[in-house]
Each structure stands twice: as structure tokens, then as C-alpha cells.
Amino acid sequence: MPQNLSTGTAMGDTPRLSRPVTLHFRADWGQANFHRICGWLAQEIGDRAPEGSRFATWNGRGGFDQIAALRAEECDITVVTPTAALSMLHQAGELKGLAALGVIPQRDKLVVAVDAALPVSTVADLASVDRPLTIATSPDDGVNTIGFAAHKGLRLAGLDVDRFSFFYHERPFPPIARFAAGKADVLIHEAIMTPHWQSIDRTRPVKYLPWGDTVLDAFEAEGWGRGVVPAGYLPGLENDLTTLEFSDFALLCREDLADDIAYLTTWCMIRTRQALEGQYAHIPADRSPVTYPLVPAAMARTPLPLHPAAERAYADVGDLALPEDDDTVIWKR
């Protein structure tokens, strides 16, 4: 156990910080999953920290901005999705000085949906459509990972993106609504577990386009893998769809994060995970924006190396059973 941690008795056999700390988390826009994750950890760490400790959560965008904020020391711990983007950056050597604390599972994919009347069967076929097309997605602005992957995929498919009109929004739901209302011909987005995707065929039949091996192989060569959406998961999806992986939330820190903080944060992720799971238990697991149950062995499979203290925490407590009844949990399953 790191030097500045002690074993307390008030909450059972649990580590406690021996000094007050101030921790800055960086989450999402404010109403999505990252704030829940950061709030969960802030409370759990705070319960095991001395009086005078302070915790703040800053709004972020959940993409490449989180990495810049860590490097600028604007935060201590941040959340990034998808882990595939981090695998790509790590393979390219662009995450030096950073480390991981763990992964919170979210099963998601980047999916291309189109009006079923379009005479296309792959993304590359969009080049042959002889009328203007509008694509609803997110901007490729150097921050948004959705927009980055969508535009990179289009270019790898041989498309001239300047030929298309775009409806852009930072978050998934306005583009999905735009497509569902018939105001866009093509939708490229994620968050496929949300109810919004279940209404995309409300104005006309839709179909789903595979990116094709040329695109997926190029992504995989850079560390960004492929995944499968099973038939029936989305409206009108009659066959399994192979597309780009867009799963999981990674918790990142700098390599110089103090060992006692990295250890306790990871310990809380493992030993109090039911406090996060309980917030999603009313949603079927395959439709939940956090895929429960959280499994420590999977949480430890991170897209860049674990902080050494986090690695010790997984080794110390990752295999232990959770308490059967924990009265400190606010949201019970």
C-alpha cells in the first residue's frame, strides 16, 4: 500500500488518505455519464480523505480536449471515450507522460445509417449518388472523437468530404433527431444503446452501411479496432453489422499523480463499483450507457499502461467479493 495511505476502521478494512487533498476531475458537458463517474469517485474518495479535502468536477467534451487538459495540469483525473481512440494515440506515441486508472465499460459502435431509398450498399457507394447528400454527424475539429472518426472513415472510403453538406452537433442527439425527421440523408454516430436510435426510421425505412475492409483495416493498422452490432439491435438491422468500435470510458491521469491518490481512486473504482452500477440498474444491461456489471479484470485492461499504484490496487483487491449489503450505497440494484 502507498506510504500516505492508512487502514481505517470507521468504514471497515479500507484505505484512507492521511493528508487533505484537492482533486480536479474533468468530465463531460454536465448531464451525461462522465459526471456520474466523477461524482461517484469524488464522493468515495472524499469519504476516505481527511477533513479539508476538496473535490471539483470541470465540464469537458470527453474527447481529445481531456488529454490536453491533463497535460496542462488543469485536472488530475479525466474520462475519455472511446478507448479505441486512445489505443490509436498510444500506438502513435502521443500519450507519453499519461497513465490509466481503469476502464468503465460501455458497449458502443460508430454506425452509418442512410435512407433506405439511396442506391448504396457500402459507405464507398455514397460517392456514386448523383444528388446532393446531407450527413448528420459531429465536427472534425481536433477535439470531438466522433467527428474525427467519421471524417477519417469517409476519406479512407475514397470520398471527397467537400462534396457533401453536413449538419454538425457536438452531442449525438441533435444529429440523430435530424436524421429521424428526414432532414439528413446519412447519419454517422454512436450512443447506439440510447432510445433516440430506436426512432430513426420514423419517417422512412433505413438501412445501415458497412465501412468496408479498406476502411476498417486502415483503422486497425493504427490501433483502432472493429466491432459488430448484432442483427435486430437497431430498427431494420436484419444482419450483423461490422463497423468501427466506439466502446468504453477510460479514466486517465498523469504518470506523476501521487501514488496514494492513484491507489485509492482505483480501490474505490473496484470496491465501490456497485454504487455506480446501481444508477443504471433500471435499464437492461445491453441498453445501458454503462454496461454492468463492472468486472475488475476487464476494468484493468486499459488502452495505455496503468499507473503503477493502480496496478497494485487491482492486484490487491480485484478478486475480492463485494460486501453483500453496503448501507453506504445511495442507488441500490
pLDDT at position 34: 97
Q: How far apart are CA 154 and CA 83, in angstroms?
A: 21
**pLDDT confidence of residue 12:** 39
Same domain, 124 and 172: yes
Give, to the nearest 10 degrees, the angle between helix 308-317 and helix 259-271: 40
Please give the pLDDT value at position 323. Answer: 74
Bridge partners (DSSP) listed for residue 251? 79, 102
Average pLDDT score over the chain: 94
Closest CA to 132 of 176, 163, 168, 155: 163
Grid coordinates belonging to 240: 450483423
Secondary structure of the chain: what % helix, strand, coil (to 5)?
35, 20, 45
Give the predicted TM-score (pTM) of the model. 0.92
Last-in-domain residue among 245, 277, 305: 245
Reported as a single tens digit per residue, the pLDDT across 248-271 is 999 999 999 999 999 999 999 999
Looking from the CA of 199 toward its CB, the CA atoms found within 13 Å total: 12
pLDDT higher than threshold 50 for residue 9: no
Domain extent, residue 151, equals 109-245
Domain-located, residue 326: no
The per-residue pLDDT for 292 is 96
Contacts of residue 19, Cβ cutoff 8 Å, sequence gap at least 6: 4, 50
Residues 309, 233, single domain; the answer is no
**Angle in degrees, 0-180, between the axes of helices 145-156 and 83-91, rounded to the nearest 10:** 70
| pLDDT at site 11 | 39
CATH number of 40's domain:
3.40.190.10
d(CA 88, CA 221): 9
Asked whether residue 10 falls in the same domain as residue 102, the answer is yes
pLDDT in tens, 19-54: 999 999 999 999 999 999 999 999 999 999 999 999
Among 201, 221, 245, the domain boundary falls at 245
Q: How far is CA 233 from CA 192, 194, 311, in A?
A: 9, 11, 36
Residue 324 included in any domain: no
Contact 146, 190 (CB under 8 A): yes
Q: Considering the domain boundaries, does residue 279 fall inside one?
A: yes
Q: What is the rounded CA–CA span in Å between residue 57 and residue 32?
A: 13
Same domain, 237 and 198: yes
- Asked, for residue 284, whether it belongs to a domain, the answer is yes
Tell whether 167 and 276 lie within a shared domain. no
310 and 292 share one domain = yes
Using one digit for the tens of pLDDT, what is the confidence trace for 46-61?
A: 999 999 999 999 999 9
Q: Which three cell numbers stand for residue 173?
A: 442527439
Q: Are residues 113 and 241 in the same domain?
A: yes
Indicate if 212 and 197 belong to the same structural domain: yes
pLDDT of residue 10: 34
pLDDT tens-digit series, residues 212-261 = 999 999 999 999 999 999 999 999 999 999 999 999 999 999 999 999 99
| Whether 173 and 276 share a structural domain | no
Nearest to 267 by CA among 45, 98, 54: 45
Q: Are residues 261 and 134 in the same domain?
A: no
Per-residue pLDDT averaged across 143-151, rounded?
98
Asked if 33 and 133 sit in the same domain, the reply is no
Q: Which three cell numbers stand for residue 168?
A: 454538425
Task: Kindly write down the DSSP assignment for every residue of 80-123, as one continuous string.
Answer: ES-HHHHHHHHHTT--TTEEEEEEE----EEEEEEETTSS-SSG
Cell numbers found for residue 60: 469537458
Query: Quick one: 307 and 289 in the same domain?
Result: yes
Give the number of domains in the chain.
2
In a domain, 331, yes or no: no
Q: Note whether 169 and 260 are within 8 A (CB).
A: no
Segment 182-204 shows an average pLDDT of 96
Query: What is the pLDDT, as a whole number, of residue 8?
Result: 39
pLDDT greater at residue 325 or residue 175: 175
- Contact 211/157 with Cβ under 8 angstroms? yes
pLDDT of residue 332 exceeding 90, the answer is no
The pLDDT value given to residue 6 = 60
* pLDDT recorded at residue 333: 59
